[in-house]
Every structure is written in structure tokens, then in C-alpha cells.
Amino acid sequence: MKRPHGGSGGDPAPDPTLPCPPHSPSPGGHGMPARRRREQLIRAAWFTCAIFAVVTIFFILAFLVVDAYPVFHAEGVWSFLSGPIWNPTGAIPTYGIWPLIVGTLLVTLGAMAIAIPLGIGSAIFIAELAPARVKAVIKPAIELLAGIPSVVFGFFGLIVLTTWIRVNFAVPTGETWLAGSILLAVMALPTIISVSEDAIASAPREYKEGSLALGATRWQTISRVVTPAALSGITAAIILGIGRAVGETMAVLMVTGNAAIIPDPIWNVLTPVRTLTGTLGIEMGEVAIGSLHYHALFGVAAVLLVITLIVNLAATLILARIKERTMPGTRCRVPAAPRQRLPGWLADRVHPYKRTMGAAAGTILLFLIFGPAGILAAIALICALHVLPGRLSPKVTQVIAFSLVVLSVLAVLFALGVILFDIISNGLPFITWEFLTQPPSNLGRTGGIFPAIVGTLYLVTGAIAMALPIGIGAAVYLTEYTREGRVTRIIRTGTDLLNGTPSIVFGLFGFAFLVIFLGFGISLIAGQVTLALMVLPTIIRTTEEALRTVPVAIREGSLALGASRWQTIRNVVLPPSVPGIVTGTILSICRAAGETAPILFTAVVFSSRFLPHSVFEPVMALPYHLFILATNVPGADGQKYATALVLLGLVVIFYGIAIGIRNHYTRARHW
């Protein structure tokens, strides 16, 4: 987020060979009008794609606020926000959402305290420490974690995690803030790890080599050179992770207890809490449409959206500040020179921060492994880390740091292993040919899930088919056609906001706009559009990252040979970006396939004898089928796990295809 003229401070004179500003006159130079017009048309098309996210976010907000207006009018905005009691069906209905706001913030905060250290630790391990063979296993494993549907997390959390908390902390119920935070941390981890790892891995090699050549240890290189250079990517990873955590509905409502109270004392992680998303998830389905309660829920959704808006704006501002101070003039990817000044001063700031983070990771690990007793050990560890560094030799520091990093990866893999084992061991016995090819009968207790498999494929395919062209177009516009300025800042902020928009809000919007207002009814198309909006930001961001890794020199070469901007993009910039785009698409597919909240009110039926033969018919979908089996059908335990297993299997197949493509391209790419 840089102003075009910003960060002028100590800039070296701009290198005249760099193609900055990017939209310099057509390098073909002959000014052929037809070609120029074509270029402008293409540019306009990509601009439309790019602005789409911004328009959407405002449209959603406007729609929510309009539907929420009656409750603001009746209750007053301030008392709606600050009211201490949420009791819409009480003797005297009260609509105060303060406890819900606090609950949401606390659960997210807790989740980030766990996920950020573990995530960055794991990313460092994968990018810097892991041997190629280990990396080839861990990376897909972590992406797989992203493919586990939130409903599965929820039920896993409800059965295993809450019981563990209840027994270990001797509390009457384990459905607590802590349970919600742990679960959300696990769910946010894949996002944080994947994106941070990409950022760390793409830190220029020369930095690392330079640092090592100066005699720094590997850990010093990682903590003072590589990680700071990747800071913007890591920040983006954290924002994406927060977006995932704030917006998660299904898993949270299953494990936090949903008591609308503020913890007393406020740091008591063992009290039940209720989040804004949880409130929407459990109450939206049965509220009388048009009642004040209904409007109050839209008010909750609007507040939720505004909170994510504030969080994301804050994060964006912080990110801009960091970039401005550390990397003047980087929009043009000035290689090396100005950035080499970076580690010197930044390291002083970042290093203590890293140490604290490492300590926090250790704390959580010890806590997870040994329970409360581990905390004492952790405190000792923190003290040790804060007092000792000056006295520890770099070698010893490195050993300690690497152990923590490895431990964080092990913790993540442990979480994945436990969940996978639970699903596979319980689900596999129920997978039969009949189960995969037959429609369900007796409420899914017998028969199969064929229509749900096909329905999920339809939903995902449709959503990706809509989101991919728009997303790539937007990313191309952002990276190739503009310099950083007000417009890109608005677009990028809009994208971030859309990314932070909770899935349940998309669901509400899809219901109010597509199903009711446009009259689509509960239909495949309504679900596809809703899911497409939801995955759009992921595609934009990952494509953008991918495009940015293509060296400027390659573009210059193409432009210098007389290719037009679009020819350059199509033939030179896009092909090597495919692996990155595919990664983004994988993440999107997994997200779309596993989400329940956005399709809950827009696209799904519990059962349908035939497959849909038009996009205006509703479909069955795996996550929804799972949700219903798990919450509404007694005696379908095996089918529930088997459905989860099939959903996972589907995701794995997608991965297989995508990872194959990615590996192929990674091998083929060399510059």
C-alpha cells in the first residue's frame, strides 16, 4: 500500500532501466490504434474484475444495514451495541449484543495467540529447515488440514476437545472460550502456514547467502534476515488467518457453549462464550422472517462485518506502515540495493519480538502436551529466553530455536493426525460401493450419498468457474496495470474486507439477495454465486502473490522485444504464475467444498431423489448432509464419519491433480 511518491526518504536514485511507472507508453511504440484499443479494452475488463470485490463488499454491507435498520430504529444503535443482555425471546425481548461482540473478540484473540506462533514456526520449518522429502509430505498434509470441513472440526471438538478440557481443568463443562480458540487456531493454521511459507520461501536468495557468508548462523539468518524480508507476506497470512477465525461459524457454535455472557474475570478462558457468528448460525434458521428478532440478526451480521472491516483496515494500515518504512520504492521490485539496508535496523526490533513469539509457541506446546503443569515450565522458559540471549552462544540459541520450530510443526501434524485418525477409523467401515452410488434412504441412516457428492461437485465447479476469471483478472490488473495508488489501495482493501467477511454473512446475503430479492429460490445457482463471492479474495490474493514472484526483468525483456502489455502478461507473466494460481485455487476449492454456512440458506436440500437438471433447483451437498446427520439424525454415526471421509477423499483428489500440476511447473521454471 504505497503512495506513488511515498517513502522517498533515503531512496537511491531510481534506476532508469526499471519499468517504473508500469503503465508507461505502449512499448511497441508504433501507436497502432487497433492494438491500442484492444489493450485498453483488456485493461478495462481487468479493471472491472478488480473493482468487483469492492462493489460487492459495499453491496453486502448496504444490504445488511437495510435489513437491520428496523432494529437500529427500534432499539437505538447505541443500546443495540452496548446492551449487556441478548435475550430476543425473553418475557421482555432484549437485543443487546455487547456480550456477543466481546465473545467474538476473545475467541479470535485466543485463537491467534495459539495459531500465529505455531503457524510461523511451521512456515519457517517448511521453507528453511525441512529437507525436500519431508517438505513434500508436510506441505500437502497442511493443505489437507484446510480441506477438513468445519462441521467435522466442530464435532471432533465437541466430542474430544471439550471432554479433555472438562476433565483436565475440572470444570463442569468443557464448552468454553478455550475450546473455541484451540479449534479456531487449528482451522486458521493452514492459511497462516501456507501464505507465510510462500512469503518466506520467496525471500531473495542473495540475502540468505549474504548473511551466511558473513558468518551468521542459520537461525540468525532466518530470524534477522529472511523473516523480516517476508514480513509483509506474514502479515498478510495473519490477516487471512484472522479472517478465517472471526468468520468461522459451524465449529465455534458447537464448542463454545453459546452462553451470551462476558467472562468474569475477563481472562477466564474456561467460561462459555457466544460469538456473533454463533448467534447467526443457531438462530437464523428458525427466526420468524420479518420479526424484530430477524432484523436484529441482520444487525448482528452488519456489526460482524463492521468488526472484520475494522480489524482488516487496522491490519492493512500496519502493513502499509511496515512497508513504507522498510522498503521504499519496492513496487517496481527494485532488486537488492535499497532493501539490503533493511536487516540492520529492523533486526533490532524484530528479534525480541521473534523471541517472545518462540516462547509463546513453546508455552502453548507445553500446555497442550502436559496440561496446566506445562505452564510453569513455560514461564521458566520465557524468563530464560528473555534473560539469557545475551549470554547464550548463537549456536545454543539456534538449537533452542530450531527445537521450538520443529515442535510447532509436530504439534500441527499431531492435530492433523488425531483428526484424520478419528475420521478414518470411524468412517472407513461404512464406505461401500452402495454408499457412494446410491441416494440416501431412511434419513441417511441407510443408502448412500451419491446426490450429495455430485451436488458438492456442482457447487464447487460453478463457484470456481465464476471466481477464477474474475479473480485472475483482478490480480492481473492490480499487479500489471497500475502503480500503487489510491485506486489500488481501495481495491486491495476491498478484497481484504471481502476475505474477512464471515461465511455466514455471505450465507445471509445470499439468502436475502439471491434467494428472496432476485427470486432464485433455494437453488444451485444461488449457492454457486455465494461460494464464488466467498472464495474470490483468496484467488485474487494468491494470484497476485504468484504474479509478483515473476522477475521484472522477464517482463522488461518481453516489452523490449515489442510485445504489448497484454501479450507480455499472457505469454510471459501468467504461465510461470500457474503454480501459485493453482495453489490459490486449491485453497478455494477446499474452502468451498467444506463450507456449510454459505449454502445453508441458499442452495441445499437435505434429500433429493434425482440430481438437479437445472441450476435453479436445489442440490444435496456433502457438508450439509454431514451437518444434518450430525445434529438432527440420531443413530447415523457411521454414515456421518463416512460422509466426512468422502468429503476429505474428494478434496484429496483435487489436491492430487493440483499438486501434480504445481510440481510439474516448479520443475519447469527456471530463470
Partner 1 sequence: MEKLQPKYSPAMAGLALVLVLALLAAGCTQPSGDGHARTLKITGSTTVLPVAQAAADAFMKDHANANIQVNGGGSSVGVQAIGEGTADIGMSSRDLKPEEHTKYPDLVVTTIANDGIAIIVHPGNTVPALTIAQIREIYRGNTTNWKEVGGPDMPIVVVGRDSASGTREFFFESVMKKEDFTPTQLEKNSNGAVKQTIALTPGAIGYVGLGYIDADIRTVPVIVNGAPVEPTIANIVAKTYPVSRPLIMITRGAPEGLAQTYLDYLLSPAGQAIVAEEGFVPITA
When binding is defined by CB under 8 A, the residue of 509, 601, 641, 655 that contacts partner 1 is 601
Of 55 and 657, nearer to partner 1 (C-beta) is 657
- Binding test (CB under 8 A) with partner 1, winner from 62, 518, 664, 666: 664
Site string for partner 1, 561-600 (x = CB under 8 A): xxx---x--xx---x--x--xx--x--------------x
Nearer Cβ to partner 1 (412/464): 464
Distance in angstroms (rounded) separating the CA atoms of residues 318 and 377: 33
In angstroms, what is the minimal distance from the CB of 613 to partner 1?
6
Residue 106 half-sphere exposure toward CB, CA atoms < 13 A: 28
Least Å from the CB of residue 462 to partner 1: 8
Q: How far apart are alpha carbons 154 and 144 in whole angstroms?
A: 17
Does 151 bind partner 1 (CB under 8 A)? Our answer is no
| Smallest distance from partner 1 to CB 654, Å | 9
Q: Tell me, residue by residue from 260 to 279, as one string, x for binding to partner 1 by CB under 8 A and - for no binding.
A: xx----------x-x-----
Largest CA distance in the chain: 78
**Subset of 171-230 contacting partner 1 (CB under 8 A):** 172-175
Contacts of 369 (CB under 8 A, 6+ apart): none
Contacts with partner 1 in 68-87 (CB under 8 A)? 85-87
All three cell numbers of 188, joined, read: 486458521
Question: Binding to partner 1 (CB under 8 A): which residues in 497-526?
Answer: 515-516, 521-522
- Taking the least distance from each CB to partner 1, the nearer of 335 and 521 is 521
Binding residues for partner 1 restricted to 157-176, rule: CB under 8 A: 158-159, 162-163, 166, 172-175
Question: Can you tell me the distance from the alpha carbon of 312 to that of 244, in angstroms, rounded to the nearest whole number?
Answer: 12
Nearest approach, Cβ of residue 87 and partner 1 (Å) = 6
* Among residues 243, 502, 618, 623, the one that binds partner 1 under rule CB under 8 A: 618
Footprint (CB under 8 A) of partner 1, residues 364-423: none
Cα gap 48→195, rounded to integer Å: 26
Binding-residue pattern over the window 227 to 256 for partner 1, x denoting contact by CB under 8 A: --------------------------xx--
Give least dist CB 464 to partner 1, A: 8
C-alpha count within 13 angstroms, C-beta hemisphere, residue 213: 6
Options 124-132, 219-227, 463-471, 549-557: segment touching partner 1 (CB under 8 A): 463-471
Q: Measured from the CB atom, is 272 or 328 closer to partner 1?
A: 272
Spell out the residues 6+ positions from residue 303 whose beta carbon is closer than 8 angstroms to its own.
81, 97, 101, 276
Q: Does residue 281 belong to the site contacting partner 1 (CB under 8 A)?
A: yes
Write down the least CB distance from residue 270 to partner 1, Å: 13
The residue (of 167 and 490) whose beta carbon lies closer to partner 1 is: 167
Interface with partner 1 includes 607 (CB under 8 A)? yes
* Interface map 537-566 toward partner 1 (x if CB under 8 A): ------------------------xxx---
**Cβ neighbours of residue 95 closer than 8 Å, sequence gap 6 or more:** 71, 75, 80, 83, 86, 88, 292, 293, 296, 299
Per rule CB under 8 A, count of chain residues that contact partner 1: 88
Using the rule CB under 8 A, which residue among 13, 34, 91, 266 binds partner 1? 91
Q: What residues pair up with 257 in beta bridges, in sequence order?
A: 273
Helix axes 292-326, 276-283, angle to 10 degrees: 150
DSSP letter string over 513-558?
A: IIIIIS---S-HHHHHHHHHHHHHHHHHHHHHHHHHTS-HHHHHHH
Query: Cis link prior to 265 (omega < 30° from 0)?
Result: yes
Q: How far is the CB of 483 from partner 1 (least distance, A)?
A: 25
**Which helix (H) or strand (E) covers residue 17, if one does?**
none
Beta bridge partners, 86, equal 95
Whether 93 and 369 have beta carbons less than 8 Å apart is answered as no
Query: Contact region for partner 1 (CB under 8 A) — 363-371, 502-510, 610-618, 644-652?
Result: 610-618
Identify which of residues 128 and 595 has a Cβ nearer to partner 1 in the complex.
595
- 413 near 138, Cβ under 8 Å? yes
Spell out the alpha helix ranges (H) of 327-393: 342-370, 373-387
Which residue, 158 or 533, has its beta carbon nearer to partner 1?
158
Of residues 283-322, which lie at the interface with partner 1 (CB under 8 A)?
283-291, 293-294
CA nearest 5: which of 491, 490, 329?
A: 329
From the CB of 431, what's the least distance to partner 1, in Å?
Answer: 21
Asked if 652 touches partner 1 (CB under 8 A), the answer is no
Find the helix packing angle between 524-548 and 486-500, rounded to 10°: 130
Options 113, 322, 382, 457; binder of partner 1; rule CB under 8 A: 457
Cβ proximity of 510 and 598 under 8 Å: yes
Give the shortest CB-279-to-partner 1 separation in angstroms: 8
Least distance to partner 1 from the beta carbon of 85, Å? Answer: 7
Is 144 within 8 Å of 656 (Cβ atoms)?
A: no
- Helix, strand or coil for residue 430? helix
